[in-house]
């Protein structure tokens, strides 16, 4: 498929007004997207677990304007209150997607959005937020063109979400989603995420992700700036190649449930992401002392207990603690007894692998 396949023809239906609600989850990358080309094309492929508890619920109420305007007409409410701060990001999103959703300027939209996780928890809301909004907007298009197939809908939702925030394209479906062209993954594309197309061992069906809020401060560096740092980065070419290789290796890991190799790859991906930021110009150290304490404790406990707990990181100081369902008692007791002291006010979120966005109304 190409971008052109997402440009619609003349809509067969007319819709004057309506209301749509979606809840869309966050996701945690196992192989990380870090670096992009023009038009939100990733520099390397990535794969993630879709989450369940961390989600954004968005309602779009819309009515047709008398005549198509020259600008986007919308109001934005975040957690019940009018919010001007997020408007520029949405405005940019609308500009990018208007060619794919040409009805946008013909409607007034009221966007009401809220997160299940606390605001300023250091948890990125762009993946869940942008995917929820993309789904609501595409649902309007489905009303204008009811013949749209479910497969096309899912792809286009991911395609649109990507234009809001890259990682958002991995939040439409569950449970394991790959985004980015990879020569050994059939159907993979730079334009949208796909459900991982090969066999996945049962152990991964019910994985846990306990998110430790080590630092709830605002991100030191936005991911857009972070991605930009990969241009002219001395290790960029090797890093992009490594992501391709890790995806190749994961195929048999997922198939066999090979947790030892899973841990090696996932932890290396997290540390490489941070290594890229530490070695870019300008450089950023996004881990905090407590991040390192937690990492060390996880590795010691894994060795001592024989469990398969491991960590991954986003572009920040918080730690995602990953572990299989059959080890949850042991690992969660360890988290409670030994890791929560490193969190701000012991705050953490018990999340797990999830099955994608849901239409609520």
State the number of binding residues for ligand DP6 (CB under 6 A).
17
Question: Binding segment for ligand DP6 among 142-150, 160-168, 286-294, 347-355 (CB under 6 A)?
Answer: 160-168
Q: Which residues contact 69 (CB under 8 A, 6 or more apart)?
A: 105, 106
Q: How far is the C-alpha of 257 from the C-alpha of 225, rounded, in Å? A: 36
- Nearest to ligand DP6 of 34, 107 (CB atom): 34
Q: Are residues 359 and 139 in contact, defined by beta-carbon separation less than 8 angstroms?
A: yes
In b/e form, how buried is each residue of 42-54, taking b as 16+ CB within 10 angstroms?
bbbbbbbbbbbeb
- Nearest to ligand DP6 of 263, 315 (CB atom): 315
CA 301 vs CA 170, 258, 287, 289, 344: distances in Å = 31, 19, 20, 18, 22
Beta bridge partners of 92: none
Q: How far is the C-alpha of 214 from the C-alpha of 207, rounded, in Å? A: 21
Q: Which residues contact 110 (CB under 8 A, 6 or more apart)?
A: 60, 61, 62, 74, 75, 77
Does residue 250 belong to the site contacting ligand DP6 (CB under 6 A)? no
Q: Shortest approach of ligand DP6 to residue 89 CB, angstroms? A: 9
Q: Shortest approach of ligand DP6 to residue 177 CB, angstroms? A: 11
What does the CA dihedral 162, 164, 166, 171 come to, rounded to 10 degrees?
-70
- Nearest to ligand DP6 of 46, 50 (CB atom): 46
Enter the tokens of residue 182.
Answer: 């990879």
Question: Binding segment for ligand DP6 among 31-39, 83-91, 197-205, 296-304 (CB under 6 A)?
Answer: 31-39
| Residue in 125, 126, 189, 272 binding ligand DP6, rule: CB under 6 A | 126
Q: Shortest approach of ligand DP6 to residue 131 CB, angstroms? A: 11
Does residue 166 belong to the site contacting ligand DP6 (CB under 6 A)? yes
Site for ligand DP6 in 81-110 (CB under 6 A): none
CA 16 to chain centre: 32
Task: Draw the binding track, 311-350, toward ligand DP6 (x: CB under 6 A; -: no contact).
Answer: ---xx-----------------------------------
Does residue 287 belong to the site contacting ligand DP6 (CB under 6 A)? no
Does residue 6 belong to the site contacting ligand DP6 (CB under 6 A)? no
Q: Shortest approach of ligand DP6 to residue 184 CB, angstroms? A: 19
Task: Draw the binding track, 194-223, toward ligand DP6 (x: CB under 6 A; -: no contact).
Answer: -----------------------------x
- Nearest to ligand DP6 of 269, 327 (CB atom): 269
Q: How far is the C-alpha of 59 from the C-alpha of 42, rounded, in Å? A: 29
- Nearest to ligand DP6 of 133, 273 (CB atom): 273
Q: Are residues 60 and 111 in contact, defined by beta-carbon separation less than 8 angstroms?
A: yes
Does residue 29 belong to the site contacting ligand DP6 (CB under 6 A)? yes
Count Cβ atoms below 10 Å from residue 108 Cβ, excluding itself.
15
Q: Where along the sequence are the contacts to ligand DP6 (CB under 6 A)?
A: 29, 32-34, 40, 46, 124, 126, 165-167, 223-224, 227, 273, 314-315
């Amino acid at each position: 498929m190409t971008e052109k396949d997402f440009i619609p023809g003349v809509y067969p239906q007319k819709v004057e007004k309506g209301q749509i609600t979606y809840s869309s989850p966050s996701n945690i990358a196992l192989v990380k997207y870090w670096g992009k080309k023009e038009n939100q094309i990733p520099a390397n492929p990535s794969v993630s677990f879709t989450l369940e508890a961390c989600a954004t619920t968005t309602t779009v109420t819309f009515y047709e304007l008398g005549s198509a305007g020259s600008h986007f007409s919308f109001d934005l409410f975040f957690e019940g209150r009018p919010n001007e701060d997020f408007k520029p990001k949405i405005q940019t999103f609308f500009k990018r997607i208007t060619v794919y959703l040409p009805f946008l300027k013909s409607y007034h939209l009221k966007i009401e959005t809220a997160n299940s996780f606390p605001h300023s928890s250091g948890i990125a809301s762009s993946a869940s937020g942008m995917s929820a909004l993309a789904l609501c907007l595409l649902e309007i298009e489905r009303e204008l063109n009811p013949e749209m197939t479910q497969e096309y809908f899912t792809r286009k939702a991911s395609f649109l979400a990507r234009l809001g925030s890259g990682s958002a394209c991995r939040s439409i479906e569950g449970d394991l989603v790959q985004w980015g062209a990879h020569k050994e993954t059939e159907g993979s594309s730079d334009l949208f995420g796909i459900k991982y197309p090969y066999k996945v061992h049962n152990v991964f069906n019910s994985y846990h992700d306990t998110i430790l809020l080590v630092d709830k401060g605002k991100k030191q560096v936005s991911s857009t700036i972070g991605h930009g740092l990969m241009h002219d980065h001395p290790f960029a070419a090797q890093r992009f190649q490594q992501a391709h290789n890790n995806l190749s290796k994961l195929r048999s890991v997922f198939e066999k449930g090979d947790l030892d190799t899973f841990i090696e790859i996932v932890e290396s991906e997290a540390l490489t992401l941070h290594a890229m930021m530490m070695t870019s110009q300008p450089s950023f150290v996004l881990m905090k002392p407590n991040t390192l304490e937690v990492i060390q404790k996880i590795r010691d406990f894994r060795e001592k207990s024989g469990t398969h707990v491991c960590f991954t990181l986003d572009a920040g100081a918080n730690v995602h603690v990953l572990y299989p369902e059959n080890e949850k008692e042991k690992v969660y007791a360890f988290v409670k007894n030994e890791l929560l002291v490193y969190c701000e006010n012991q705050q953490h979120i018990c999340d797990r692998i999830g099955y994608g966005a849901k239409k609520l109304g």
